[in-house]
A and B are shown apart, each in its own frame.
Chain A
Amino acid sequence: MTADGQRPAVPTTAAGQEALGASDDEWRRVHPASPFVRGWVALAAIVFFFGRDIFERLLQGQPIFEEGLARRAPWLLAGGGTVLAVAVLGFVLTWYFTKYQVSGGYVRVDSGFLFRQHRQARLDRVQAIDIEQPLLARIFGLAELKFEVADAGESAVRLAYLRIDDARRLRATILAQASGAVPAAEHAGNHAPEAPEYQVLTVPPSRLIGSLLLSEQSFFVVLGGVATVLLSAVTDNRAFYFYLVPAALGLAANYWNLFTKGYNFTAAISPDGIRLRYGLLDTQAQTLPPGRIQAVKIAQPPLWRPFGWYRVQVNVAGYGLAGNAAAGNTRTTLLPVGKLADALNILALVLPDPGTTQPDTVFGAGLAGRDSDGGFVTTPRRARLLAPLAWRRNGFTATGTALLIRSGRWWRELVVVPHQRTQSMALHQGPLARRFRVADLVLHTTAGPVSPRLVQAGLDEARQLFDDQAARARLARTRQTTEQWLRQVVPPAVEGPPNAAGVAVAGSAPAAPTNHQQEGPQHG
């Protein structure tokens, strides 16, 4: 993706070519205020530095300016002015040299004036596209556009900051070109219109708070608190309470963070993909194009069971590698907390074609069932000593489009891997498992919170699955012929409920193979 200075020739048959208006070919700059929005920390530090000084003097009853100031004033002014001028010049230069272009099936971003950087990303390789609005940018009506391109190295291409309308328009343009949807003739020269969307679910704040209070984390908090009190009582030492203060602060910050991130969570479906919006102060809008999700996990911690809540997390190429764990965590969460119907709705968005005639039975059994409900194959009885509680839960079943792996008696989990997303897989068996004639099957997927592993399947079943799964994945790969999803799938009807909107795989994808063959092996 990152070509050092040289620009590869624009592919002549790139689908978006004819869709491009003349206005799209020109190089554009980001909003002039963006370096200031990004560099506000530095400016705030300067203000804080001087402000604190003055504030302290006021408190101490000293005059705001000391007597010697008149002598030093010119130096101070000159020094401060120079620092400010250098900072502002830096900002202006950064802004001047940051340019972007959407053209010929590529997005290109140039940045830096000392160390020039030129990045380009294939539009049909866009895995996900986010609009982020930190609080300050939100005040100014600006937004950052960030798109993930599956790539071995650095993943995200970011454009910070654009006016929010521009960001939305650019997102629509990128998605329209990425999907292979050629805008109608009257739109030539204009930007693609934003795809209509249909809201699927929202998470009410009360449920979010409840889910946080009953999360796994809270369990350990209570455990730690009880342990502390007990220790203090037994050892007659009050010092333990002091350890609680920083711990409580950290936890409060963590809960606050989870709350602001999950606040006002909304999921919607549009032909462009799944739209997720959330955030209290910093808002974020994610778009996940269809078919970009590598694996899904639906989990239910024990404390959530009385309420029937579930959490849905996904692996998306590029997301897993992103920055700090907390940011990655919220971005890979497709549903922070929701009822069974919400979870199944989300699953229907991710996997439009469940590949079975009774999706409710099969997925319901995957979430809550045991033994052979819904056609699951569980750990054989002979191996029940290896997992005395979970052996009736641990199991798998395959539908026409995905492999379902369920596990956990108390910490229920259902992992769904679409056949066409299987990268590679492996059978594992240790000495103990060999005594019981069981084996584990690991499916490899891109980095992320979901790591599909079928534990303790019977040896014959596992071996059979190993072969079958290879065959299914091969079949699914031959069906998936192009990265431009509108070319191979019928767009879902956004008016209806998403369950009804079956996305059929067109058996004969036209014009796909030629486009497909151009991809270099490094993109694979």
Chain B
Amino acid sequence: MRTEAIDPPGIDWQRVSPKYVTVRLVEWALANLAMVLVLSLPLGFVLLGWWSWPPLGLAIAVPAVMLVVALWRLALIPRQVRAIGYAERDDDLLIRSGIFFQRAMAVPYGRMQYVDIAVGPVERGLGLCTLKLHTASPGTNARIPGLPAAEGARLREQLAARGEARLAGL
């Protein structure tokens, strides 16, 4: 389904590293495979004859549905990663994400309180990092995952410098 994106037209989006797909894959595997395994336990018990309830059909259906959903989400991961983008404009940083649930966010440099860089174990292995912006609002959930470490550091410095120059009060 090719649809119109909601973000403002004419923006030259910077994309995050394709290696970020690996990070998402690991996260996916940890969350979804574990879930499917847990949900398959009743099936195993029923097959072994330890449990009389639930009926076999239900015991198969629940993990099967879960598996299908998980596989669907797996298939979406590369597209989701490609959908993440950011753009440095003169006065604010634009961040977009999502395909089904799209989001485009503008964070003015003058409103940034501080900038975090977080690196998880998998990201470290791939030389990636996650940048997070904080404003006075808890609603500002602005993170750019999957940045190459050098780009992350550059962006942080850049944002800090611009924030300093355009600093506004609350």
| Chain A residues engaging chain B, CB cutoff 8 angstroms | 127, 150, 152, 292, 294, 317, 420-431, 434, 437, 439, 442, 444-447, 451, 459, 462-463, 466-467, 470, 473-474, 477, 480, 482-483, 516, 519, 521-524
Question: Is B119's CB within 8 Å of the partner chain A?
Answer: no
| Chain B residues engaging chain A, CB cutoff 8 angstroms | 3-4, 6-9, 91-92, 100-108, 110-114, 134-140, 142, 160, 163-164, 166-170
Kindly list chain A residues whose C-beta atoms are within 8 Å of the C-beta of B104: 426-427, 466
Kindly list chain B residues whose C-beta atoms are within 8 Å of the C-beta of A482: 169
Contact status of A524 and B113, CB under 8 A, knowing A444-B140, A477-B108, A477-B168: yes
A446, A477, A521: the one contacting B136 at CB < 8 Å is: A446
B101, B112, B139: the one contacting A429 at CB < 8 Å is: B101
Kindly list chain A residues whose C-beta atoms are within 8 Å of the C-beta of B6: 427, 429, 439, 459, 462-463
Tell me the interface secondary structure of chain A in the complex: mixed
A476 to B102 CA separation, bound complex (whole angstroms) = 28
Contact status of A294 and B160, CB under 8 A, knowing A424-B107, A439-B6: no
Q: Judge whether A467 and B111 touch: CB under 8 Å.
A: no
A522 to B160 CA separation, bound complex (whole angstroms) = 11
B3, B7, B106, B169: the one contacting A425 at CB < 8 Å is: B106
Kindly list chain A residues whose C-beta atoms are within 8 Å of the C-beta of B137: 423-424, 444-447
Q: Judge whether A466 and B101 touch: CB under 8 Å.
A: no
Contact status of A483 and B136, CB under 8 A, knowing A459-B4, A470-B106: no
Kindly list chain A residues whose C-beta atoms are within 8 Å of the C-beta of B142: 424
List 23 A-B residue pairs with CB atoms under 8 Å apart, sorted by A's residue number: A150-B170, A422-B111, A423-B140, A424-B105, A424-B107, A424-B111, A424-B135, A424-B140, A425-B105, A427-B103, A429-B101, A429-B102, A429-B103, A434-B4, A466-B104, A474-B92, A474-B108, A477-B108, A521-B160, A521-B164, A521-B167, A524-B167, A524-B169
Q: Judge whether B110 and A470 touch: CB under 8 Å.
A: no
Kindly list chain A residues whose C-beta atoms are within 8 Å of the C-beta of B140: 423-424, 444
Q: Judge whether B105 and A480 touch: CB under 8 Å.
A: no
Tell me the interface secondary structure of chain B in the complex: loop
B8, B102, B108, B111: the one contacting A428 at CB < 8 Å is: B102
* A127 (CB) vs chain B CBs: closest residue: B170
Kindly list 9 other residue pairs between chains A and B, CB separation below 8 angstroms, not including A317-B170, A474-B108. Answer: A317-B136, A423-B111, A424-B108, A431-B100, A463-B9, A466-B104, A521-B160, A521-B163, A524-B111
B139, B160, B164, B168: the one contacting A445 at CB < 8 Å is: B139
A473 to B106 CA separation, bound complex (whole angstroms) = 11
Q: Judge whether B136 and A426 touch: CB under 8 Å.
A: no
A434 to B98 CA separation, bound complex (whole angstroms) = 13
Contact status of A466 and B167, CB under 8 A, knowing A423-B140, A445-B139, A521-B114: no
Nearest CB on A from B24, distance (A) = 21
A426 to B142 CA separation, bound complex (whole angstroms) = 10
Q: Judge whether B102 and A473 touch: CB under 8 Å.
A: no
Q: Judge whether B91 and A483 touch: CB under 8 Å.
A: no
A421 to B73 CA separation, bound complex (whole angstroms) = 38
* B91 (CB) vs chain A CBs: closest residue: A474
Nearest CB on B from A203, distance (A) = 29
Residue with the highest number of chain A CB atoms closer than 10 Å, among B100, B101, B104: B104
Q: Judge whether B169 and A480 touch: CB under 8 Å.
A: yes
Q: Judge whether B170 and A152 touch: CB under 8 Å.
A: no
